[in-house]
Amino acid sequence: MVATIDRYTTRISATPAALDRADPVVWDPHMRTRHVDFEVDGFTHSEGVLDERHVRDCLNEVHRLGVDPALRADVRVVREKGSSAVRSIFDIAKLSSVVSDAIEVSGAASVAREILGSEVYIHQSRLNYKPGFRGGAFYWHSDFETWHAEDGMPAPRAVSASIALTDNHHFNGPLMVMPGSHRTFLQCGGSTPERYFEESLVEEIPRVGVPSEDMITRMYDRHGIDVVTGAAGSMTVFDSNLLHASAGNISPVPRANIFVVFNSVDNRLESPFGGTAPRPEFLAAR
Ligand code: 6CS
Ligand code: FE
């Protein structure tokens, strides 16, 4: 198979540049008017996609998985640095039929099909759990930059659906996005250490795969920052290349969200464009 031309080179030694996105945002032209906010801002938010029962059942699952002795040493349960507090549980859709059922009910897959203009499959699912008082931050990044460099995702033809299991207030570490930033691909400097995910999933400010402060400032000057708040049961679907982050959570109110990533079946993973070995299945389904 001829290797795909890399139109999104990143993790480079040269000075990283801001490249125009070489691909559509909403891939099905007929869906552009239906998803105009996604086309323009790179994300769309809806309230009440899960009812209270589904939310409650998922939260019970999260607590069950967080203390399940069988998962104590499982690589898919990522804990906050220097603590046993759960930061993320990967493969959550496979680990819990309750969560997988809630994802079904949320309608995320049909929104993904409309935006991506094709059949879709789950590239990655995770639960990001931010306990009260000591929930960790996630620094500014584009998911696609990581999935391109470390998982071999050819184009930004993937979307993440973040489904809130607790109220996402402005004060308990909600998702922050730069609306419109999805149209610019920010190259990152440096090269990827082997098995880098063992560090990047835990570090609040990863040393590779994040844009420079100068680039983040320029994007802020152009796009500003939206704080995406929403009640438990709400859902935010965002473009794989949208610049996003979330602050730590020192409020008493935990913030727990399911993230499920849908990739187009026409955008299947190839060998990582950053040259490292493919990451494990729980991070990037092949
Ligand atoms: O490496 C990844 O796939 C994960 N890292 C971040 C910061 N967001 C996307 C994903 O969960
Ligand atoms: Fe992310």
CA of 244 to the centre of ligand 2 (A): 7
281 domain-assigned: no
User: Residue 60's pLDDT is what?
Assistant: 95
Pairwise CA distance, residues 105 & 114, whole Å: 16
Average pLDDT for residues 241-252, to the nearest whole number?
97
- pLDDT at site 86: 87
Atom of ligand 1 nearest to the CA of 150: 1
pLDDT, residue 149, reads 97
pLDDT of residue 85: 84
Higher pLDDT, 220 or 3: 220
pLDDT confidence tier of residue 1, bands split at 50, 70 and 90: low
Asked if residue 189 has pLDDT above 90, the reply is: yes
Q: Is there a contact between 8 and 273 (Cβ–Cβ < 8 Å)?
A: yes
Helix (H, G, I), strand (E, B) or coil at 139: strand
- Where on the phi/psi map is residue 11: left (φ > 0), alpha (ψ -120 to 50), or beta? left
In this structure, is residue 1 part of a structural domain?
Answer: no
Cα 1 to middle of ligand 1, angstroms: 28
In a domain, residue 189? The reply is: yes
In this structure, is residue 50 part of a structural domain?
yes
Entry field: residues in the chain? 286
Indicate the pTM of the whole model.
0.96
Q: Cα(99)–Cα(50) distance, rounded to whole angstroms?
A: 11
Residue 279, domain member (yes or no): no
Rounded average pLDDT over 2-19: 92
In a domain, 35, yes or no: yes
Distance CA 145, CA 8 (A): 8
Tokens linked to 181: 């930033």
For the chain, the domain total comes to 1
Higher pLDDT pick, 154 / 67: 154
Mutation to probe ligand 1, out of 124, 196, 279 (largest number of atoms < 8 A from CB): 124
Confirm whether 276 is domain-assigned.
no
- The β-bridge partners of 256 are 129
Nearest CA to ligand 1 atom 8: 143
Residue 195 belongs to domain with CATH number? 2.60.120.620
**HSE, side-chain direction, 13 A CA sphere, residue 26:** 21
What is the rounded distance in angstroms from the CA atom of residue 240 to the CA atom of residue 73?
A: 30
Q: Per the domain annotation, does 177 fall within a domain?
A: yes
Q: How confident is the model at residue 252 (pLDDT cuts 50, 70, 90)?
A: very high
Mean pLDDT of the chain: 95
- Does the pLDDT of residue 20 top 80, yes or no? yes
List pLDDT tens digits, range 77-101.
999 888 888 889 999 999 999 999 9
- Closest approach atom of ligand 1 to CA 284: 3
3 pLDDT more than 90: no
Identify the residues whose C-beta falls under 6 Å from ligand 1. 124, 126, 138, 141, 143, 146, 197, 200, 283
- Across the range 196-221, mean pLDDT stands at 93
Contacts 24+ apart (CB under 8 A), 22-30: 22/155, 22/185, 23/155, 23/156, 23/157, 25/115, 25/182, 25/183, 25/239, 26/114, 26/115, 26/117, 27/115, 27/116, 27/117, 27/118, 27/157, 27/264, 28/114, 28/115, 28/116, 28/117
Q: Which domain holds residue 182?
A: 18-267
**pLDDT value of residue 110:** 98
- Rounded to an integer, the average pLDDT of 17-34 is 97
Strands 235-239 and 77-79: unpaired
